[in-house]
């Protein structure tokens, strides 16, 4: 059973960089065919796709966030990470990581709330 | 900017049948958009229900089914249970990009 767990600071100051890590257990992040996604949900709002990465390092980002987003992978730790720069209050959201396999986001983490505030 | 549109809210009686739809601003939704459907209850992460239009995950209850209907992706719930009250999101793939619909709040009343 694949499990994903987000971790990182719950509070980030405006203009700083938000950094989160997703730890994958129950399966190898290097297994072929899987992409690893970040998705966020603003309070009381819908889901917004941020981007995803393949274990080889190839990435695809939401065009609206692309200039501020970096997703990376650490296969030795079975983790992938999100960095979002120059954050504002509009980046306050619950951030989810998920596995993207065969055109399916099947397994999700429980989510972590990140608040941007001074 | 591509927009994916869902009904904001729907109400269904227990035991009834309801269909939720998912439309694309780019035109008709086809299997090539690999429609996905998710259920989200308050305070919980989304749970995957349907992928690639009509494929169910091993945990998806039989009463949920996916299809294409009138140029849209559709999620049909047959024999609705009280526990099906939730927010439902669709997702479409546009080549490498992913876009979520705005969600449908389903009330079972």
**What confidence score (pLDDT) does residue A108 get?**
98
- The CATH number given to whatever domain includes residue B58 is 2.60.40.10
Q: What is the pLDDT of residues B4-51, one digit of tens each?
A: 999 999 999 999 999 999 999 999 999 999 999 999 999 999 999 999
Residue B97 located in a structural domain: yes
Which chain A residue shows the shortest CA-CA distance from B98?
Answer: A49
Q: Which residues of chain A have pLDDT under 50?
A: none
Q: Which 34-53 residues of chain A touch chain B by CB within 8 A?
A: 37, 39, 46-49, 52
C-alpha dist (Å) from residue A57 to A75, B7, B45, B58, B82: 10, 37, 26, 29, 43
Confidence (pLDDT) at A102: 79
- Considering only alpha carbons, which residue of chain B is nearest residue A47? B100
Give the one of B34, B36, B103 whose C-beta lies nearest to A46's C-beta: B103
**Token representation of residue A38:** 């970040």
Question: What tokens were used for A82?
Answer: 């999100």
Chain A interface mutation, best of B34, B38, B45, highest count of A Cβ atoms under 10 Å:
B45
Contact of A33 with chain B, judged by CB distance below 8 Å, is answered with no
Substitution target from A105, A110, A111 for chain B, most B beta carbons within 10 A: A105
| Chain-chain contact of A106 with B51 (C-beta, under 8 angstroms) | yes
Instruction: Give A22-55 pLDDT, tens digit per residue.
Output: 999 999 998 878 999 999 999 999 999 999 999 8
Helices (H), B27-88: none
Q: What is the pLDDT of residue B82?
A: 98
> Cα–Cα distance between B84 and B99 in angstroms, integer?
24
- CA dist A5 and B85 (Å) reads 26
Contact state of B45 with A63 under an 8 Å Cβ cutoff: no
List b or e across B17-53, with b for residues whose CB sees 16 or more CB atoms inside 10 angstroms: ebbbbbbbeeeebeeebbbbbbbbeeeebbbbbbbbb
pLDDT on residue A103: 87
* Within a domain: B83: yes
CA distance A28 to A30: 5
Residue B33 located in a structural domain: yes
C-beta atoms of A106 and B45 within 8 A: no
B46–A46 C-beta distance less than 8 A? no
Residue-number span of the structural domain to which B77 is assigned: 4-104
Predicted local confidence at residue A32, as pLDDT? 77
Q: What is the pLDDT of residues B50-107, one digit of tens each?
A: 999 999 999 999 999 999 999 999 999 999 999 999 999 999 999 989 999 999 999 9
In a domain? residue B109: no
CB contact under 8 A, A108 and B89: no
Domain count, chain B: 1
């Amino acid at each position: 059973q694949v499990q994903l767990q987000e971790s990182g600071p719950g509070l980030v100051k405006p203009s700083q960089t938000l950094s989160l890590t997703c730890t994958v257990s129950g399966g190898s992040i290097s297994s072929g065919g899987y992409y690893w996604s970040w998705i966020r949900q603003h309070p009381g709002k819908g889901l917004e796709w941020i981007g995803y990465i393949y274990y080889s390092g190839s990435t695809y980002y939401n065009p609206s966030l692309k200039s501020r987003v970096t997703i990376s992978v650490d296969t030795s730790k079975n983790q992938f990470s999100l960095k979002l720069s120059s954050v504002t209050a509009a980046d306050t959201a619950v951030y989810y990581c998920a596995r993207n396999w065969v055109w399916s986001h099947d397994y999700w983490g429980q989510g972590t709330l990140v608040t941007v505030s001074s | 900017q591509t927009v994916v549109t869902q009904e904001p809210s729907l109400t269904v009686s227990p035991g009834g049948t309801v269909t939720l739809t998912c439309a694309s601003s780019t035109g008709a939704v086809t299997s090539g958009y690999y429609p996905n459907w998710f259920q989200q209850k308050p305070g919980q992460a989304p749970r995957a229900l349907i992928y690639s239009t009509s494929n169910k995950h091993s945990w998806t209850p039989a009463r949920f089914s996916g299809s294409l209907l009138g140029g849209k992706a559709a999620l049909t719930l047959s024999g609705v249970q009280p526990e099906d009250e939730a927010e439902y999101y669709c997702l479409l793939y546009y080549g490498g990009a992913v876009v979520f619909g705005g969600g449908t709040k389903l009330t079972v009343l």
